[in-house]
Structure formats: C-alpha cells, structure tokens
Structure 1
Amino acid sequence: MSTPPAPLDVDELATVIEDFTTVFIRLASVQRFNFSTLSVLHTLGRNGPCRLTDLTATEQLKQPALTSLVAKLERQGLVSRRSDPSDGRAVLLSLTKDGWEIVRGRHAKRVANLSQLVDRLTDQEREVLAAAAGVLTRLTELATDD
C-alpha cells in the first residue's frame, strides 16, 4: 500500500519559483541591461520577428514606453525594423547580429553558471530536477495558451 502524495503547497511553490527566478536572472552578467531591455531582446530571440503590438502583450509595457525602448534598441544596433510582408502598413521587429550575440551570450553564461550549481547537487536531486524541467515546461505552455 503506497502513501498518497503530499498536497502541493502552491504558495510555497510560487515563492520558490520567485526566489529561483531572481537568482537565475542574475546568473548571466555578460552585459548589464535593464529588465525591460533584456525581456524584449529575449522575446524577439525566442519568438522571432514580431510587431510592436505583439510585444505589448508579452512585455507588460504600455505602447509609448515600448515604442521608446524599441527606438533606443534600434539606435544601439540591437533591433531592426522591416516591413511586414503580410501587411505593408505594419513593421516587424527582429534582432540584429549584435542583438543575437547578447541573447546567446547571456544564455551561454547562464548555462555555464547553472551547470556549476547543478554539479553540486546529489544524483537524486539531479533526477528530481530533470523531472521537474518537464513539468515547468508544461506550466509555461499552459500559461502561454492563456
């Protein structure tokens, strides 16, 4: 007879994820940018070219602030604009080569730093973490679908 699993404490889970996210965000210190800048760069890197209005849905910034940020990123050579082939009136934003270098560099630095931390876990902890990765992916998918 097996014991039923302990109930999930969602409040504790939220706190653990918040704490981990705070640490994880800081694992990559390749270059210093503010959170909004990094979020836009990573969104464009992960989702590919998109319209400014699409970014307002993911970035939690009002359109005037996002327009200003994108203009700054364009001046810095990190983001480029081009006409949307499906609608000539619209503009698609995408990462430039330099923008990609920042995104890839931060990811590589995070992987290296996280690997050092994971190496300090026990074999059993690494197994649990590997299983948790799939669950976190599923939670991300559910949140994205909403």
Structure 2
Amino acid sequence: MSDLDVDRLTTVIEDFNTIFIRLPSVRRLNFSALSVLHTLDRNGPLRLTDLLATEQLKQPALTSLVAKLEQDGLLQRRQDPSDGRASLISLTRTGRDLVRSRHANRVAKLTALVDRLTPEELAVLAGSVDVLHRLTELAEDPL
C-alpha cells in the first residue's frame, strides 16, 4: 500500500459530494429522483428492473418514484420493442433539459470555486480527473 490515507480520502470525497450535490439551484429534487434522472440521461431508456440494479431503492419505492417523475413530466414509459410485456423508461425533453441545466449550473458554480485555487492546487486537481474517472470505471466492474 502507498502513502494514500484511504480513510481521509473517503471522508474528503463524502464531504465534497455533500457540497457538490447542493451546488445547482435549478429545480431541487431529492437525491433518489436526481439519481434516476442522471442514470437515464447517461444510459438511455431502461426497464424498471435495470434501474433497480443501479439505484439504492426497493422496487415499491422506485416504482412510486418513477410514477411521480412521470406525472411531473420528467419521464415517460413506452413499450419495450424486444418484449411487449415490459416498458422502457426514458427522459422526456423536459427531463433532459432539467439534467442539462443542472449540469450547466454545477459547472458554473464549480468553475467559480476552481478559479480560487492556487496554480499548484489546480495542477493536482487536473491530474486527479483521470484517476477519479478510473476509480468510477473500476467500481462499475464486478470483482
């Protein structure tokens, strides 16, 4: 093992996530709703069973959340062309616009924070982007 303090890294990531999640001021939604919207934005239309695999919710809670987001005009269901008994859940244009506007808002606010870093801190952060991306890839691969 290296000199990396994984306990401190975990705490720092948790603290950063707490702040990062709250950066956008565009339409506030709970974490579960945002997670579903972002999952569908990144992965495209999914069945409810596929969403269950990515979200930290039980089926009744996810079913209820999807129904609410659908009622709010952020999601839509359509028949799965490969299985007429199943539905695919996808973002509506309004849902996509919401995800994109939250991202743009987050970029603007994070840019304002990044602009306050020293050149040395900025260099370290820039070098960390690929490492954080790699950690995300590793987390998605089953062991």
- The TM-score with structure 1 as length reference comes to 0.94
User: How many positions carry a matched residue from both structures?
Assistant: 142
Give the 3-state SS of the residue equivalent to 1:46 in structure 2.
helix
Give the 3-state SS of the residue equivalent to 1:18 in structure 2.
helix
1: CA distance, partners of 2:138 / 2:81: 30
1: CA distance, partners of 2:64 / 2:71: 11
Q: How does 1:1-146 map to 2 (within 5 A)?
A: 7-146=3-142
Structure 1: give runs of 5+ residues left out of the alignment: none
Give the 3-state SS of the residue equivalent to 2:46 in structure 1.
coil
1:6 to partner: Cα distance: 5.8
Give % identity.
70
Structure 2: give runs of 5+ residues left out of the alignment: none
Structure 1 residues 91 and 122 mapped into 2: Cα distance closer, same or farther (>3 Å)? same
Larger Rg: 1
- Read off the aligned partner of 2:82 and give its amino acid letter: S
1: CA distance, partners of 2:94 / 2:29: 14
2: CA distance, partners of 1:7 / 1:130: 20
Q: Could you list the structure 1 runs, at least 4 aligned residues long, displaced by more than 4 angstroms after superposition.
A: none
2: CA distance, partners of 1:6 / 1:29: 39
- The TM-score with structure 2 as length reference comes to 0.96
